[in-house]
Amino acid sequence: MGFGNDTLLSEFVLLGFSVEPALQPLIFGLFISMYLITVLGNLLIILAVSSDSHLHTPMYFFLSNLSLVDICFTSTTVPKMLWNIQTQSRVITYEGCITQMYFFILFAGLDDFLLAVMAYDRYVAICHPLHYMIIMNSQLCGLLVLVSCIMWALNSLLQSLMVLRLSFCTDLEIPHFFCELKQVIQLACSDTFLNNMVMYFVTVLLAGGPLAGIIYSYSKIVSCIRAISSAQGKYKAFSTCASHLSVVSLFYCTSLGVYLSSAATQSSHSSAAASVMYTVVTPMLNPFIYSLRNRDIKRALKRFYGMTCTKGTIISR
């Protein structure tokens, strides 16, 4: 892959948020705090689910997978940005950029698919409670996660290979804090029509499909809840999917807001700042939403904390 003058392409420049030296420590402190909270919060969810046998159900199986994906999703972009701030360098190698792009697409897609699968799980639990354990058996749950991984791994590979066929000019500055697919394609000197068509088609197919599934699942859930006669029964049914609905709303509102704002404005810094909402803030808030609104998770976290304290006491003796 080369420049317009056939010089080998070796690196891109990530412009990030601000070049002001005075703001760099503030940005570094803010993002490392959010990153550590994200990793710790999601890791606690995974440990709580895995350590409590009462939570070995389809709903919490998908939740622990979502937490793992959120950790990986944030780890794809934030550590590199923190490293660039610390070393006062905004450079990312060509290979590093393609790799970052691959994993960003992969984990963003898995987030999307897992939210759709969790919506289907809530639909079965509320609308078909007597057949829930038969329908949502362990084989189906594992298959749903596996299919999601394979589909988005192939899509990420396709998008990355499509970028590899492009040639780039001398302007290699990416107005973002990570290698976003759309931003990289815009830097190419060669024809990008095919790249754009594939990117938009796959986005509509693989991102629009899960969104349609979520909307359909919740339309059925609302119908089932309305058919329940008692107010207590309605509240109990709604409370089982309230956390998931909050996470879905946060994920889609922030991600759609980013792309609508980027289409409405040409400001690269505004687009980068808006992207923080769904790449960093949403994965950070997900554990809080599930732990604060879910008694089972609270109970499991308390039990896990108690087990940890007990083991620590025994070891100290």
DSSP track, 266-299: --HHHHHHHHHIIIIIHHHHHHHHHHHS-HHHHH
For range 172-192, the mean pLDDT = 88
Residue 212: inside a domain, yes or no? Answer: yes
Residue 154 backbone phi and psi in degrees, to 5: -70, -40
Q: What is the pLDDT of residue 197?
A: 93
CATH of the domain at 53: 1.20.1070.10
Compare 260 and 159 and report the one with higher pLDDT.
159
Is residue 16 a part of any domain in this protein? yes
What pLDDT is attached to residue 314? Answer: 52
98 CB-near residues (< 8 Å, 6+ apart) = 160, 163, 164, 179
Q: How far is CA 263 from CA 183, 196, 258, in A?
A: 13, 15, 9
Per-residue confidence (pLDDT) for residue 242, from 0 to 100:
83
Task: With H, G, I as helix, E, B as strand and everything else as coil, classify residue 307.
Answer: helix
The whole-number average pLDDT for the span 55-71 is: 93
Q: Using 50, 70 and 90 to split pLDDT, how confident is the model at 236?
A: confident
| pLDDT above 60 (res 7) | no
pLDDT given for residue 1 in this prediction: 43
The arithmetic mean of pLDDT across residues 56-80, rounded, is: 94
Between 65 and 205, whose confidence is greater? 65
Evaluate whether 8 touches 2 at the Cβ level (below 8 Å): yes
Domain-embedded: residue 5: no
d(CA 202, CA 159): 9
Are 64 and 46 contacting, i.e. CB atoms less than 8 angstroms apart?
yes
Give the confidence band of 205 by pLDDT, cuts at 50, 70, 90. Answer: confident
Residue 4 lies in a domain: no
Is 3 within the bounds of a domain? Answer: no
Highest mean pLDDT among 50-54, 85-89, 169-173, 211-215: 211-215
CA distances for 173 relative to 31, 92, 183, 187, angstroms: 22, 10, 9, 8
Residue 98 lies in a domain: yes
End-to-end CA distance of the chain: 62
Tokens of 237: 């049914």
> Does the CA dihedral 91-97-99-102 come out positive or negative?
positive
Q: Which tens digit of pLDDT belongs to each residue from 135-144? A: 999 999 999 9
Please state, rounded to an integer, the average pLDDT across all residues of the chain: 85
pLDDT at 312: 55
Q: Could you tell me the pLDDT band of residue 261, with boundaries at 50, 70 and 90?
A: low
Residue 174 lies in a domain: yes
pLDDT band at 68 (very low <50, low <70, confident <90, very high): very high
Number of domains in the chain: 1
Q: Which residue has the tokens 């590199």?
A: 80
- Domain of residue 19: give its range: 11-316
Residue 235 belongs to some domain of the structure:
yes
pTM for the predicted model, two decimal places = 0.88
